[in-house]
Structure 1
Amino acid sequence: MPDAGAAIGRQTTSEARQIRAVLKGVGHYLPNRVVPNSEFEASLETSDEWIRSRSGIERRHFAAEGQTTADLASRAARAALADAGLEAAEIDALIVATSTPDLTFPSVATMVQAELGLTTGFAFDIQAVCAGFVFAMANADALIRAGTARRILVIGAETFSRILDFEDRATCVLFGDGAGAVVLEAEEGEGTSADRGILATDLHSDGRHRDILYVNGGTSTGTSGVLKMQGREVFRHAVEKLAATAHSALGKVGLTSADVAWIVPHQANSRIIEATAKKMGLGMDRVILTVQDHGNTSAASIPLALSVGASQGRFKSGDLVVMEAIGGGLAWGSVVLRW
């Protein structure tokens, strides 16, 4: 049997011109309240050294009372629009990746749509936990390729502080709140791996592992619940699956790790990030790392890291960027994008 991935790669690098979803702007927003590790020492048997050594996290941001996921998402969206030099009215669609919606329904995306003053187009949420932004980017890419939308705002936004058990030192010290956003726009490319924009995506899920990372609330319990995690199991799956999905996505367009300028991983744990980079044969000098300042912001972590990296001048035109994430479900995947 011929290798399907290789066939896709050959097709992508040799076929005629095609529409690409090109990144035009990035932006982010973090709540004002900064929570250093030391703040947990008064209520938990933990320390700054313990948290840093196991996660790499030094601080995180928590939303203020009354500050919602939609609020964070709207601020990040405005920042991305400004970076792209666009007005909200020029956007055709809006996708929000989140696991902490303000209400069961309507979607956060429609709330952001209203906040931005948009009365046309469409908006919806995607829930794939920490892999949500990758799944949202894959959906936006497909919509743009299909001609359904020309410009799409893709946002990752979370208020994870609202679903934490602050008596569980193994989980509550790991997460933070924030939002990041990108603007994608349709452009015609040559149909080769040298094109700008999203070149390939790779998505997976496996519901057999749902019990290692979940929230114990919802309509079945009548409560919002709190996050539960088997950290060791999550770590094992993350290192194995993140490197594999990145290699798979690169292979679809005939590329390898040697072609990668930057990895922008889900910012869950510095040890996971380091182990994944090592599996890909890449040094940490080619990884955007923000977990020390933000903690794990779930679906917001990749767009936050993208925005921070861009503001630091890390990316240059033509750089090959790989985004990879894994979250509850389990759900995982990657996006290969040329800056």
Structure 2
Amino acid sequence: MTHIPAITGTGVFTPEQVITNAELVTAFNAYAERYNAEHADEIAAGTLEAKAPSSEEFIVKASGIEQRYVIDKSGILDPTRMYPALRQRSDDEPSLMAEMALDAAQKALAMAGRKGEEIDLVICAASNMERAYPAMAVEIQSLIGAGGFAFDMNVACSSATFGIQAAADMVRAGSAHRALVVNPEICSGHLEWRDRDCHFIFGDVATATVIEPADEAKGGYFEIRSTRCATEFSNNIRNNNGFLRRSRPDGVADRRDMQFMQNGRKVFKEVVPMVSQHIMSHLADEHVEADQLKRLWLHQANKSMNDFIGRKVLGREPAPGEQPNILQDYANTSSAGSIIAFAKNSEDFTEGDLGLICSFGAGYSVGSVLLERHG
């Protein structure tokens, strides 16, 4: 028997701590001044480039971001540190990622009217895992009391949509009956807060999605009409951290390329047309006109990128509410961004309304999920 998969619940975990642009700029500029003073001789000799100051105006113009939620702000805002101060947990404690995912999962399960033991597939889909193994998903599976099986997957910022496709395919085929896709993103841990070009980009969050057969939904649901994923290799967004690359050959551990890096101009130039064409092809194959979509829930990386994609797909300027942005409050939360946009901007859908979730990022990768509201 073939099942029609549906999203019946979503959940969002939002950290309590907030860093405003003003706070971030103050910390960064204090760090830059300190750095420039410590390296004044090299800077004067022309062998080292001085750190330029940041500003609130620069951040908003470059990204549209106004603040971000983080697990720890004290370490990030310390000019002598500039990264989160997260306590090392013992092996007997729940991991931080699993704890974040549990909060989002419980909210998604409550919306779906389900209990953890009714889940038989857990996918933890995120950009950076807290450890190599055991899989984060298996720990989350244990915490919610689920059966079946669980696994991790990483397609960077497209992890959520790729995870939804995998779960939907398994529900449709019957290899899993009811799935939970979780996206815990501790982006503050892999961001280089000392780099002016990117120090403002990321925030922390976790999202969760329940996927089950549409005919078993306990309330209103979003039928997953179709999904589409695509990848194309590029080094323009990358993080080289890993067990094979702990330090430079000289033993120095502070390697810049072991944190988030991107060539922003190339990314914009190459990803925007790739994503726009991906969405338009997906809709065409499903015989759906762009104007039939009530909403586009796009990956939350950069306002200019989203505005461009919205105009290209719709062939006009998106009307208010057609393409909601949440990055002004959350910043870029990697794979979780499009799911936050969906979770917070879908309650007004009625029977038959169509919408599309789309995420994109490192890889390059792009994933889209066409949804239809019922009930």
Report TM bin, short chain. Answer: 0.7 to 0.9
**Deviation of the 1:87 alpha carbon:** 0.7
**Deviation of the 1:48 alpha carbon:** 1.5
Which residue in the other structure is 1:161 paired with? 188
Matched, 1:296 2:329: no
Which residue in the other structure is 1:14 paired with? none
Matched, 1:251 2:278: no
- Report the TM-score when normalising by structure 1: 0.88
The amino acid that maps onto 2:286 is V
Matched, 1:268 2:294: no
Alpha-carbon distance between aligned partners in 2 of 1:104 and 1:196, rounded to the nearest angstrom: 34
Which residue in the other structure is 1:10 paired with? none
CA contact 2:167–2:179 (8 Å) conserved in 1: yes
Structure 1 residues not aligned, in runs of 5+: 1-16, 190-194
Please give the per-residue CA displacement for 1:66-114, whole angstroms capped at 9, x wherever unaligned: 4722221111111100111111111111111112211111221112112
The 5-angstrom pairing of residues 30-179 of structure 1 reads: 30-42=14-26, 43-44=28-29, 45-64=53-72, 65-66=86-87, 68-118=96-146, 120-179=147-206
Alpha-carbon distance between aligned partners in 2 of 1:243 and 1:93, rounded to the nearest angstrom: 31
Which residue in the other structure is 2:223 paired with? 197
The sequence identity of aligned pairs, in percent, is 30
The amino acid that maps onto 1:112 is I
CA contact 1:206–1:331 (8 Å) conserved in 2: yes
Q: Secondary structure at the match of 1:54?
A: helix
**Deviation of the 1:188 alpha carbon:** 5.4
Greater Cα offset, 290-299 or 211-220: 211-220
Query: Aligned residues, how many?
Result: 313
**Deviation of the 1:284 alpha carbon:** 4.4
- Report the TM-score when normalising by structure 2: 0.79
Alpha-carbon distance between aligned partners in 2 of 1:298 and 1:284, rounded to the nearest angstrom: 25
Please give the per-residue CA displacement for 1:216-253, whole angstroms capped at 9, x wherever unaligned: 21122126921111011111122111111111221222
The amino acid that maps onto 1:113 is Q
Please give the per-residue CA displacement for 1:192-234, whole angstroms capped at 9, x wherever unaligned: xxx9511111111111x1x200012112212692111101111
Matched, 1:330 2:314: no
Which residue in the other structure is 2:267 paired with? 234
The amino acid that maps onto 2:192 is D
Q: Which of structures 1 and 2 has the bigger CA Rg?
A: 2
**Deviation of the 1:179 alpha carbon:** 0.9
The amino acid that maps onto 1:213 is I
**Deviation of the 1:23 alpha carbon:** 1.2
Task: Pick from 319, 344, 362 the counterpart of residue 308 of structure 1.
Answer: 344
Task: Pick from 13, 23, 26 the counterpart of residue 29 of structure 1.
Answer: 13
Which residue in the other structure is 1:219 paired with? 243
RMSD: 1.9
CA 1:111 to 1:172, structure 2 compared with 1: closer, same or farther past 3 Å? farther
Q: Secondary structure at the match of 2:214?
A: strand
CA contact 1:200–1:252 (8 Å) conserved in 2: no
Please give the per-residue CA displacement for 1:152-202, whole angstroms capped at 9, x wherever unaligned: 11122210100111110211211111011111111359xxxxx95111111
**Deviation of the 1:264 alpha carbon:** 0.3
Alpha-carbon distance between aligned partners in 1 of 2:333 and 2:323, rounded to the nearest angstrom: 17
Which residue in the other structure is 1:206 paired with? 232
Alpha-carbon distance between aligned partners in 1 of 2:222 and 2:70, rounded to the nearest angstrom: 35
Alpha-carbon distance between aligned partners in 1 of 2:155 and 2:296, rounded to the nearest angstrom: 20
CA contact 1:177–1:297 (8 Å) conserved in 2: yes
Alpha-carbon distance between aligned partners in 1 of 2:325 and 2:264, rounded to the nearest angstrom: 20
Alpha-carbon distance between aligned partners in 2 of 1:229 and 1:69, rounded to the nearest angstrom: 24
